[in-house]
Every structure is written in structure tokens, then in C-alpha cells.
Chain A
Amino acid sequence: MAAVSGLVRRPLREVSGLLKRRFHWTAPAALQVTVRDAINQGMDEELERDEKVFLLGEEVAQYDGAYKVSRGLWKKYGDKRIIDTPISEMGFAGIAVGAAMAGLRPICEFMTFNFSMQAIDQVINSAAKTYYMSGGLQPVPIVFRGPNGASAGVAAQHSQCFAAWYGHCPGLKVVSPWNSEDAKGLIKSAIRDNNPVVVLENELMYGVPFEFPPEAQSKDFLIPIGKAKIERQGKKTKIYKHPSILVKFNLEVTVINMRTIRPMDMETIEASVMKTNHLVTVEGGWPQFGVGAEICARIMEGPAFNFLDAPAVRVTGADVPMPYAKILEDNSIPQVKDIIFAIKKTLNI
């Protein structure tokens, strides 16, 4: 029916489509973009679009970024807009917040979020709380970005996940991109947002290529902050917070990519739980007071609780400072087998 009506309405297009199909015309190869390049593209486009946007951080300019995320930007935009800072996190984070208060739109890079702990007072007390404390007079349009969580073999002081810490604070927005599409859409939304946004990237994902859909190639491609994405639809719910692990399932599992930690999209999660009746959360951070703990608490307090056929379960990093030796490190972060085990336990299979 639809095909017929299509022919009637758009005869020429359908015919040419048929002709194309008859001649085995292949669609162009899908564009593959790494997460690193997606973030780079997102920042480049926003720098071009608005001259108030600028990037500062350690090694972001002449070094092309400690992880090469800002490659090429200094060459293109120069010293004024891509600023190398001394190793002074508290100082340059505060400078970035002050610049935002005075009307600019800074992107403040932390080489890793572990170092943001030195500057965390500026992020929370000077950035996050100011709009509220001022009774709506003083917005702070700033982005704090950088790699978060575990890497490979960098040990305890360089492997902490800060999702729970930043997600705890009202006044902040916290996003956690997974693939290239997420990375580009979220960094652009974060830069255009008039609020302090923490963008928790992942170092291990920087080099991973993903298919870039056509809409993501647009200069105005934005992913809304506060909306989760259902990566795959299935019968059981699972939520990825840090999907740096590629998983293949035989089970029919709904995979939700949260994309945003704060404000959390509970509607999508609840709707899914109400369909699937089971919940497993996955994150890289420590279990106590983590993102998964918050999700479980909210599920209990909300309408989805009555739909659970089993208690919700969390899969998290091990409750230890990250060890160095490979066998120990491997077992300190959620592995595929750990997730599958948890799902099967929840499903009682």
C-alpha cells in the first residue's frame, strides 16, 4: 500500500529508485570517525561559530593536546583562543570560571579528571552554585572536559571516576559520551549551554572509530543534555553508563546509554524497566554512593519498582584504589563476563 501510494505521489523518484536498485547502485561507505576526532570536530565547529568560545588547559595548544584531542586547533585559531596554561589547576580553572562570569564561553580542559580534584572548589563553589546564590543574576557558561575514569596501567591516582562526585551537585550538568556521535553532539551542546557542564570523556575510547550518521556530520548537530539513548531494544533492561566495553548478547537485552549523568533521564529508564522487569546498571566507578546506587534508589522510589521481578543490581568497579598489575587492574573494572553474570543472576538463569 505504502509503495503504491509512493509511486502515485512521487513517480519519478520511485522509478529512479527502482532503476538505481536494478543497476545495483551501492550507497557510499559509512563515515568512520574516532571519538577523538569527533570531539575535535565539535570544538572546532563551536570555536568557529562563536568567537567568545576558547579552550584552555595544559598542553592543549602547541602539544596538540595531551591525548591529541585538540590537534590542529592552535594552528587554526592561535594563542588568543587556544591557551596553554602552567600546571595550576586551581588557578586556571578559577580563571576560566571568572572569564565565563564576565561573558566569555571557556572550555577548560583537565588533563585527566583526577587533576580536577585540585580545582574542584572552583568547579563546585564558584561555577555550579553561583547562578543559584545570585538569585539568577550571574550565569556561568563554562565547559570542563577531559578523560575520566580508568585508563590502562596508570594506577590509583590516575584512574578515579568522578561521575558520582560531580553528579552529586545541583547547578552542574554532567555528561558522559560513549561513541563518536555522543562525543560530538554532547560537546557541542555543552558549549552552547549557559550552565557549567562537566564532560566526562574516556581515554580508552578516544581511538575507537564509530560510524558517523549523516546528521552527525552537520555543524548544528546537537545531542540534548538530559536524554538517554536506547542503543538496542530488547526484553531485559541494562544500562550502560560507561560503555567502553563492546558486548555481544544472546539474551534480549535493552541497552540504555545514559549519555547524561545530571540531570538524569529517569523516564527512559523507568519506561524500560516497566517493560522488561529487570535492571542491571554498569559503571566504571566505585560502588559506594555511585551512579548505579542513585539509579537503584530512584527506581525504588518511583513507579517502576512494582514492575521489578528481581532486585536491581549494580555492576561497578571494584571497591579498591586501582592497582597496577594487569591481572589486578583487569579485575578492578567491570568485564564482559561480570556483566553477563550479573544479568543472568538477575534473570535467575
Chain B
Amino acid sequence: MSQCCAGPASITRVHCPDGATCIGAPEGDAEPRPGLPAVVTGRRRHLQHSVKNMLAAFISRVLRRVAQKSARRVLVASRKSSNDATFEIKKCDLYLLEEGPPVTTVLTRAEGLKYYRMMLTVRRMELKADQLYKQKFIRGFCHLCDGQEACCVGLEAGINPSDHVITSYRAHGVCYTRGLSVRSILAELTGRRGGCAKGKGGSMHMYTKNFYGGNGIVGAQGPLGAGIALACKYKGNDEICLTLYGDGAANQGQIAEAFNMAALWKLPCVFICENNLYGMGTSTERAAASPDYYKRGNFIPGLKVDGMDVLCVREATKFAANYCRSGKGPILMELQTYRYHGHSMSDPGVSYRTREEIQEVRSKRDPIIILQDRMVNSKLATVEELKEIGAEVRKEIDDAAQFATTDPEPHLEELGHHIYSSDSSFEVRGANPWIKFKSVS
């Protein structure tokens, strides 16, 4: 029996002679036993692991001889999936901190499946938005976050639903992870009644409970997020606010003002710089005198996080959330990530960076593939299971797109609604003095 190559946590694929595809395994694996099919696994907690493996292997060999075609399926089915696995994650660079997040983490099967599904949903949703935009169902601005899925999913995994999040215009992923349905997001993009903002907001202005958008003005969400954190501290409810901004926004003066007041008043605010290396078409080296964004908080401690690894993001977020909740004040996280699309749908994204660079990230650092390989490799899930999730996600997205392209536009009468909250109705002027719209709160 041949041995699969055991290697570091990067993805290497090897074809084993028995036809199965083995994935390069994380470090510290058990030596493959001679006489067993050469699938190398990660560290386990099951006590009867080796016995089960031997038994499974024996059964599978027997069945393979019986039905060659269904060999792979049987091979997989006979292997019981594990409940959890431990993974090593990249150590975060620290600024003004003695200790950082842990370098290993446990991922349960349930968590892994959830993160996988969420990331895949965000990916497919963004790609569908791309398609709808090109078909002219979506108008105006459309800033996609495919490539950055580990950020929104990892952040959500590190906080409670009762915590608060605010972000920039590249918001669709966070909209989903904060609880908006794909349907309501796509229908808002297409400007329909069933959109989460009733078609009044569009891509950059989607809101839900404990999620404050979606902000069109670069950097404005910095002080807003600090204000939400102030409300958390004021109410004494132990909640925190994640305030996201990009590498471009990091150079906004109001971000520095927000840092100052958050630190001064010890606001429970986690400032998060999603550094995808480009502010529109300007690379970080051309925009920032210091592109060490995790140090830009000056007097605020910072972490540099691998934003392509959902587990790294999760652990860093938990660490940061804990820091804030303990009353120490704000903390800053820089998530190193990458966007596959250009700045927006009107930017092909290749005039200021090379196709090779994009391809390199896709093949070596794709967040979904990183998780997928980890899960399959450590038997948290099978390839088939993940494919099934993929099919379910595809259906969900397709149904949502169908809704988003067929739901009617808002009633014209609603043009004047929602000017003021909690007010009696009044008249709003239209394009000429004879056109009046009723405004209802």
C-alpha cells in the first residue's frame, strides 16, 4: 500500500492507487498503518479509532471487490465521520498585547458544516448578484465580497446574536451572516417589494436586528460603531459592537477620531480592518504611510489575523470580544483577506492588479476550499455530503434569484413613506407642485 504524503496545512492533492483522492493532511498525523488504505487523518478523540478504522477498511475492501462502480461511495459510507477535530491555525501578530488568540482550535462537525454552508451561500449569492447585475436586474452600485467569506462567517462565529455589527458598503456577506435571508438580500438588490428595505435602500443600505448596515460613506461607520458600543456600555448589557472598515477607509480622519474617543471612554468596540489590499484601485502601499493597519490604532492593542481562514477569524474574534467585554476598552483586528471581484461591478479589477495574483489566491488561499479540505481530510464530512450542501445552496440561491427577478417593484405610493418615524401622515411633494405623495411612518 502506498502512503499518502503528509504535509503542512496547505492543500496538496495526491491520487492514491486505490482510486480515492487523498488530501494533504495537517501536521502531527498518525503514521499510516501498513495494510490499510492510505488515507491519513488528523488528530482524533475517539478511543476506538484504530479498531474502527481497521474494521471499516476490511469491510470496504470486501465490498469493493463485490461492486467496483460503487466502490467510492461504499468506501466513504463505511467510514464513520468524526464529531470534531483539532486544527492548528496561524499565530496572530500582536500589537500592545502580551497574549493573543490560541494557535489551535477545535472544530465540531456541526460547526464545520454550518460555516461551510454559510460561506458557500455567501459565495454563490455574490456570484448570482454578479450575474443579475450583468443582466441589468441590479442597478447602480454593487460591491461584491467573494473571496472574503471567511471574514463575515468567522466574525459571526466569534460573537453572540445579541452583539452588534456595522460595516461598509461591501456588506452583502455580513447582511447574510447577521440573519437576512438570501431572498430578502437579492430582492433588495433588484429593488423589489420583498427586499429587506422594501426596495428603498439597495445594495449599501440593508439593515436588520443588531445590524446597522451597509454604509455608503467611506469611514462613516467608524464613529457610528463606536456610538453603538457607547450605547452597549451605557446600558450595561455586556454587549459589544464589531465595527468593520476597509484598508481604504483606514485613512479617514473620522476613524482616528473614533479610535480616540473609544479608547478614552473604554468603549466595547472591536474595530476590524478588512484589508483586501486595495482601496478601489489604490493598493495599500500607495495609500498608507503605514500599511500595518493593526497598529494604526496607536494606543489601541491590535491583532493581525489570517482573514482567509474562518477558524483563525473565529478565534481572533472570540479573543477580541472577550477583551472588550472585560471592560478593557476597544481593540483592533486586521483581517488579511482578498476580493476576487473588482471594487464594484463597474471595475474589472485587473488594471491595478494582475490576473496571476487573483488566480494565485484562488488556488492557494480560497477560504471555502481551505475549510472543505480540512473537513474532508479529518473526516468531519465527506466529499459527498459537502457536494449535497452545495446542491442545496445552489437551489436556495436559484429560488431567491427567481423571487428577486419576479417580485414586483414597490408601489409608487410608497415613494413618500418612511421620511419620519412615529409621526402622523403628511404630504410629500413630488416632481411638480401638483404631484403629492402621502408619507406614512
Contact = CB atoms under 8 A, between A and B. Distances in A.
Given A90-B254, A135-B198, A194-B421, A122 B234 contact: no
A281 to B, nearest CB: 19
A217 interface: no
A125 B216 CA distance: 9
Nearest to B229: A98
A221 B57 CA distance: 83
A130 B223 CA distance: 15
A99 interface: yes
Contacts, number: 152
B296 interface: no
B209 to A, nearest CB: 9
B223 A93 contact: yes
B220 to A, nearest CB: 6
Given A125-B217, A135-B418, A170-B419, A102 B231 contact: yes
Interface stretch (A37-45, A80-88, A157-165): A80-88
Given A90-B253, A90-B254, A171 B419 contact: yes
A173 interface: yes
Interface in A121-180: 121-122, 125-126, 130-141, 170-171, 173
Interface stretch (B74-82, B100-108, B200-208, B383-391): B200-208
Contacts of B260: 86, 88, 91
Interface in A238-260: none
A101 interface: yes
Contact of B261 (A92, A136, A194): A92
A209 interface: no
B213 interface: yes
Interface in B97-154: none
A130 B433 CA distance: 26
A86 B231 contact: no
Contacts of A80: 234
Interface string B196-234: 111111000101100011011100101111111111101
Nearest to B201: A133
A94 B226 contact: yes
Contacts of A102: 164, 212, 227-228, 231-232, 241
A173 B197 contact: no
A135 B226 contact: no
Contacts of B222: 94
Given A132-B418, A263-B426, A88 B261 contact: yes
Contacts of B264: 86
Q: Among the interface residues B224, B235, B433, which one has the most CB atoms of the partner chain A within 10 A?
A: B224
Contact of B212 (A86, A88, A98, A139): A98
B257 A91 contact: yes
A80 B215 CA distance: 28
B417 interface: yes
B420 A171 contact: yes
A302 B220 CA distance: 40
B231 A99 contact: yes
A83 B234 CA distance: 12
Contact of A135 (B197, B212, B225): B197
Interface string B398-434: 0000000000000000000111111100101000010
A330 to B, nearest CB: 38
Contacts of A125: 216-217, 220
A106 to B, nearest CB: 8
Nearest to B262: A95
Contacts of A140: 421
B258 A94 contact: yes
B257 A90 contact: yes
B346 interface: no
B2 interface: no
A81 to B, nearest CB: 9
A301 interface: yes
Contacts of B241: 102
A83 B233 CA distance: 14
Q: Among the interface residues A90, A91, A138, which one has the most CB atoms of the partner chain B within 10 A?
A: A91
Contact of A103 (B199, B225, B231, B433): B231
A301 B434 CA distance: 9
A103 B195 CA distance: 24
A205 interface: no
Interface string A69-89: 000000000001001011010
A91 B258 contact: yes
Nearest to A96: B227
Given A85-B261, A98-B227, A132 B232 contact: no
Contacts of B195: 135
Nearest to B414: A135
Contacts of B199: 135
Q: Which 6 residue pairs across A and B have the least CB separation, nearest first?
A: A98-B227, A94-B223, A91-B257, A135-B198, A102-B231, A139-B421
5 contacts: A85-B261, A91-B226, A98-B230, A137-B197, A141-B421
Interface of B: 164, 166, 195-201, 205, 207-208, 212-213, 215-217, 220, 222-232, 234-235, 241, 253-254, 257-258, 260-261, 264-265, 417-423, 426, 428, 433, 441
